[in-house]
Structure 1
């Protein structure tokens, strides 16, 4: 058998050098990951370019990943079928009288949306259309309106159900049900931190408020929204009770959203349903193509034992759970700026997993620290997909809203630090509700 032509350090240099070069010339991330593998596959005598296709198809042979298009379709059905509108009315009734009323509604609606769709990009797109122009008309600064829309959208990957948790569970074999429970408290804490940030902005800039809703208005809004708000209860509850798997829960969410939109609220017809299917197909193809090319990239890293070489040095530092937690957060915060969250989980998550295990970090704690850290990458340039979408809706460059966005990330960083220092913030709810999931 011929020896490897490339050493681990040479292979790492070729892979990452090619990847960042392709990104620099504006090749999309998914294509950059695949193309960066070709030089290694072509010149390494023990490998073949066919590995690219074999590993891509292997990565798609996953029942869990079927949940990704189903959750994206759920989000599209919500937006097309009047569900989002009902949740917006309830949000206004609950928090419209707080300082910065419309921005507070934006945050609360993101919390509700997160509990149904699991997609931050879908949240940013729908909320951007609903709120950015409306806030500007009411006297809010455009940069603030863009920032709060983008920042609140990331709640969708933290509060269950979350597409990133599904991918993490499939790739790193962590209980999805446990992650769903573990994400609730951090997600709500981040939501509260965002509401506090809006309050501070509103007081400083004298943003408007709505009149306080009376009990009758709150009751009517809640009554219309109850069917929609039952979605996360059905999804998470069904998994915890063993009625269905995470993938099956995503399919149930689609069926439930379709029934609500077409039969209960009656705001969706076959034309809008087909449009939602087509849009979901486009979004799913991008996300799943990323999974395929990232899997090949990750396979080559493992083939050359690059993660092992990196971690052998880190393990000599003698870090504990908190030290490793901080290291994991920093790694994901940096990688998330340049890479989509799904390939980041496949490449970086699998690389850091042995390190987390070596210090006794609980797999669910590791997962939530990683996912919350990756959520920042949805906002921070140069990748920052949620910020890009919000700026595109407002028709302004990315730099326009950057200052307000960075300010709003500070309270989120505080929450991230808290869940690293105090793992019980993440683990106490799974222990309380379903302790067997943590074993």
Structure 2
């Protein structure tokens, strides 16, 4: 930038050099981003360290971001109020008689829970407590149990309402309603891919199967679970039909979850409600702190016009929508291995967006390729937060589970390729239900 002490290349070297060094030293991502910003703010005469605080807090001045803690609170209320237990019973009556019954239940419960929580880390933590030890007792291999629990948890950021969709929509000005609709088909396809993988494992390793539930049992478990299953319809339906915004839908989800937990099912007391609030505060602080420092990092990238310098070379490749889709997926798959999904969206998504526009790619298609690719990063080392959670709960090393994780990711990668090659997989529902979202 004219008048700046540092050039784009020098600034980029300092920012990314310090950031990745801090990550190698195992400094948390949010602090690594802040530490990377400080030297430049102190060196550059026109800037000051106050900008780090200013840009961090500017990023919080967003009505959309309020949805993040509310969706996390909804998930905690569902877990503590017995709602998850009822969804697990429903899952068992539906797929418990399939090969690898308990693992199939694990996947289906993650599918249901994804429509409520929007947080893969919350899903990984709650599912690990329930399933890993249960699968051990039934003779499942530890590596398989950890892998399927971690991999199924990524559904929570693909199936609406997803926290990543809210961050993406707020940062890159993409319709959140369109993203909610666009995530349904890819989420369902990945669920089917995971269940097929479990089927193959179960046949090869002779994993146990439950007795088929009667139609009466299925009807009873469905009836009991209907109030819980209504939650995603309230959240998604209200946003689609314009009854309320994404943030307002999150607030209504909290009220509804609290009603079910405290008054309808009556399995949560005031102490449990307090604990849900405390857990939500802790997880929200972690997520939003990442948003703030990533925004400051992104501001410095823009100040030195680093994205333009990066894009100038790539623009010469003249990629079409499909080629650009593979480039986007490749970048996010690599970035997701080292960086949390939220700062990746704010930093990398902002850099790639102009390229996708010039290639003629639909913004919703771009968003879903990015979100699905980043979801894989939740279970791939060295970052792999969901995998780390599952391994910690199981008391095993990450490297002992990585082989099964990679095997399970293979059919999911096929779904990602399908999304890139056939955009209608993503755009079909938004165009059918609410085409205004795509304008």
What TM-score, normalized by structure 2, do the two folds share?
0.99
Shift in Å at residue 400 of structure 1? 1.5
What pairs up with 1:391-402 in 2 under 5 angstroms? 391-402=391-402
CA distance in 2, matches of 1:354, 1:226: 43
Once the two structures are superposed, residues 108-141 of structure 1 have per-residue CA deviations (whole angstroms, 9 ceiling, x without a partner) of 0000000011000000000000100000100100
**Which residue matches 2:303?**
303
Specify every segment of 5 or more residues in structure 1 that has no aligned partner in the other structure, as ranges: none
SS of equivalent to 1:115: helix
Q: Does 1:236 align with 2:236?
A: yes
**Which residue matches 1:343?**
343
Q: Does 1:140 align with 2:135?
A: no
**Which residue matches 1:249?**
249
**Which residue matches 1:46?**
46
What pairs up with 1:6-405 in 2 under 5 angstroms? 6-405=6-405
Question: How many residues of Structure 1 are paired with residues of Structure 2 in the alignment?
Answer: 439
Shift in Å at residue 421 of structure 1? 0.3
SS of equivalent to 1:377: helix
CA distance in 1, matches of 2:348, 2:56: 18
The 1:295–1:277 alpha-carbon spacing in structure 2 relative to 1, beyond 3 Å, is same
Q: Is contact 1:2-1:45 (8 Å) kept?
A: no
Judge which range, 288-297 or 391-400, deviates more.
391-400
Specify every segment of 5 or more residues in structure 2 that has no aligned partner in the other structure, as ranges: none
Shift in Å at residue 45 of structure 1? 1.1
Shift in Å at residue 2 of structure 1? 8.3
Once the two structures are superposed, residues 171-190 of structure 1 have per-residue CA deviations (whole angstroms, 9 ceiling, x without a partner) of 00000000000000000000
CA distance in 2, matches of 1:216, 1:366: 44
Once the two structures are superposed, residues 66-115 of structure 1 have per-residue CA deviations (whole angstroms, 9 ceiling, x without a partner) of 00000110111011000000000000000000000000000000000000
Shift in Å at residue 398 of structure 1? 1.1
Once the two structures are superposed, residues 27-80 of structure 1 have per-residue CA deviations (whole angstroms, 9 ceiling, x without a partner) of 111000001100110001111111101100110000000000001101110110
CA distance in 2, matches of 1:190, 1:39: 43
**Which residue matches 1:406?**
406
CA distance in 2, matches of 1:26, 1:210: 43
SS of equivalent to 1:90: helix
SS of equivalent to 2:116: coil
CA distance in 1, matches of 2:214, 2:2: 78
SS of equivalent to 1:149: helix
What TM-score, normalized by structure 1, do the two folds share?
0.99
CA distance in 2, matches of 1:240, 1:101: 35
